[in-house]
């Protein structure tokens, strides 16, 4: 493991540990991306996966929002579909359409097409990007690593891209439960190894994105998603107990209590979840991350501030990492993202001052 400059802002990590802190940290899912003109400039001369695979470019794009906004975390620029890629599936990024697998998994026999990857070598470009970014961050804020969750990666690998109902992948769960478990376990093993290496390479907080959790009824989530999510958190806790583990199970509103019983330190909430109810359900079992509706950034800066105030009030000052309930949109205005970040900082300090004992 390299030696890195000490952190001058560790609010993210302290919030994840539910420690008292002077203000609420904030970052945004997809904070490096198409809404930033400086990102568009890089993409004008480089394909999406070229940026992902070139550590200097990935680091540059990762740092763009850190240079522009006083945010409390950087998240490495990469893609959850690098795992299906190293498992042996081709993934293309089609402009205006999103990811496309020319030859997805169709039937259980196709599992024989998968190879057993070695993230240390197969995904060395992500690990190098993490190390380079961590150095270039120079301690300004923590660096976040991430992976797709097993069910979400299974869904893409079978569906071959976005889909209305993800019916092909759900069909596997109902029709081929054993093959589904085999695929999920293979993905899980790779994800654990990958995130382990990400932490060794410099990631200080790791998030698992189960973007399609909400496609599953609760019994299916508990059979095919939760056990693999839990395995990941458990293995990482054993190897890196001090690195917060974060789970974002989008749409799985029924899963909060079960996720709080796993080894995740932080549960990230989508915009449909009520912060106060989530806090009541989770208690002190995990910190909470989220969850302003990304579309709220279309509002005026004054309205954004009013919404941030409601959000911070509802989550309370301890164990909350401010974020959106999903990623930035390509047509968001950077100034509105800035208004969001500034509002979290200013209002969370103001609320703490108001709560402090007189003369304290």
Residues catalogued as catalytic:
30, 34, 43, 79, 156
Check residue 94 for interaction with a second copy (CB under 8 A): no
What's the chain's Rg over C-alpha atoms?
Answer: 20
Check residue 333 for interaction with a second copy (CB under 8 A): no
Compute the least distance from the CB of residue 334 to a second copy, in Å.
16
**CA angle, residues 189, 195, 199, in degrees to nearest 5:** 145
Compute the least distance from the CB of residue 333 to a second copy, in Å.
11
Residue with Cβ nearer a second copy (175 or 239): 175
Structure tokens given for 150: 């097993």
Which positions from 208 through 227 interact with a second copy, judged by CB under 8 A? 214, 216-220
Binding flags for a second copy, 181-200, as an x/- string (CB under 8 A): --------------------
Residue with Cβ nearer a second copy (65 or 325): 325
Residue 286 and residue 264: Cα distance in Å, rounded? 7
Residue with Cβ nearer a second copy (117 or 294): 294
Check residue 113 for interaction with a second copy (CB under 8 A): no
Which positions from 12 through 31 interact with a second copy, judged by CB under 8 A? none
List, in sequence order, the alpha helices (H) in the chain.
Answer: 11-16, 37-43, 48-53, 55-68, 82-86, 119-122, 124-137, 150-159, 167-175, 177-201, 218-220, 226-239, 256-260, 275-282, 301-315, 334-355
Check residue 352 for interaction with a second copy (CB under 8 A): no
Residue 172 and residue 187: Cα distance in Å, rounded? 15
- Could you write out the DSSP letters of every residue in 280-296? HHHTTSSEEEEEE-GGG
Binding flags for a second copy, 144-183, as an x/- string (CB under 8 A): ------------------x-xx-x--xx-xxx--------
**Which of 303, 305, 349, 352 forms a contact with a second copy (CB under 8 A)?**
303
Check residue 296 for interaction with a second copy (CB under 8 A): yes
Give the C-alpha distances (Å, rounded to integers) separating 138 from 81, 133, 176, 240, 330. Answer: 29, 9, 48, 22, 28
Host H or E run for residue 323: strand 320-324
Half-sphere exposure of 285 (CA within 13 A, CB side): 16
The site that binds a second copy (CB under 8 A) totals a number of residues, namely 36
Applying CB under 8 A, the residues found at the interface with a second copy are 162, 164-165, 167, 170-171, 173-175, 214, 216-220, 251-254, 271-274, 293-296, 298-300, 303, 310, 325-326, 329, 331
């Amino acid at each position: 493991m390299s030696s890195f400059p000490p952190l001058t802002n560790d609010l993210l990590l302290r919030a994840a540990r539910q420690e008292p802190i002077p203000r609420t940290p904030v970052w945004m899912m997809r904070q490096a991306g198409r809404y930033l003109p400086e990102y568009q400039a890089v993409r004008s001369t480089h394909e999406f996966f070229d940026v992902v695979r070139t550590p200097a470019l990935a680091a540059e794009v990762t740092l763009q929002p850190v240079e522009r906004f006083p945010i409390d975390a950087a998240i490495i620029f990469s893609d959850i579909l690098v795992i299906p890629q190293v498992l042996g599936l081709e993934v293309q990024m089609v402009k205006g359409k999103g990811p496309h697998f020319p030859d997805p998994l169709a039937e259980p026999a196709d599992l024989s097409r998968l190879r057993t990857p070695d993230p240390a070598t197969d995904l060395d470009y992500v690990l190098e990007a993490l190390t380079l970014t961590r150095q270039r961050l120079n301690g300004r804020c923590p660096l976040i690593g991430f992976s797709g969750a097993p069910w979400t990666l299974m869904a893409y690998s079978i569906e071959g891209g976005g889909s209305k109902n993800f019916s092909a992948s759900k069909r596997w769960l109902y029709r081929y439960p054993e093959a589904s478990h085999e695929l999920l376990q293979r993905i899980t093993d790779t994800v654990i190894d990958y995130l382990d290496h990400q932490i060794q390479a410099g990631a200080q907080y790791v998030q698992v994105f189960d973007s399609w959790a909400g496609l599953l009824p609760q019994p299916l989530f508990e059979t095919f998603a939760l056990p693999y999510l839990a395995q990941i958190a458990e293995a990482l806790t054993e190897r890196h107990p001090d690195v917060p583990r974060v789970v974002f199970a989008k749409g799985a509103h029924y899963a909060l209590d079960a996720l709080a019983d796993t080894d995740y330190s932080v549960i990230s909430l989508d915009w449909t979840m009520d912060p106060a109810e989530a806090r009541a359900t989770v208690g002190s079992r995990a910190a909470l991350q989220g969850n302003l509706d990304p579309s709220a950034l279309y509002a005026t800066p004054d309205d954004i501030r009013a919404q941030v105030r409601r959000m911070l009030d509802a989550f309370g000052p301890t164990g909350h990492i401010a974020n959106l309930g999903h990623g930035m949109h390509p047509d968001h205005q950077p100034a509105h993202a800035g208004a969001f970040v500034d509002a979290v900082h200013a209002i969370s300090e103001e609320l703490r001052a108001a709560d402090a004992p007189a003369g304290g």
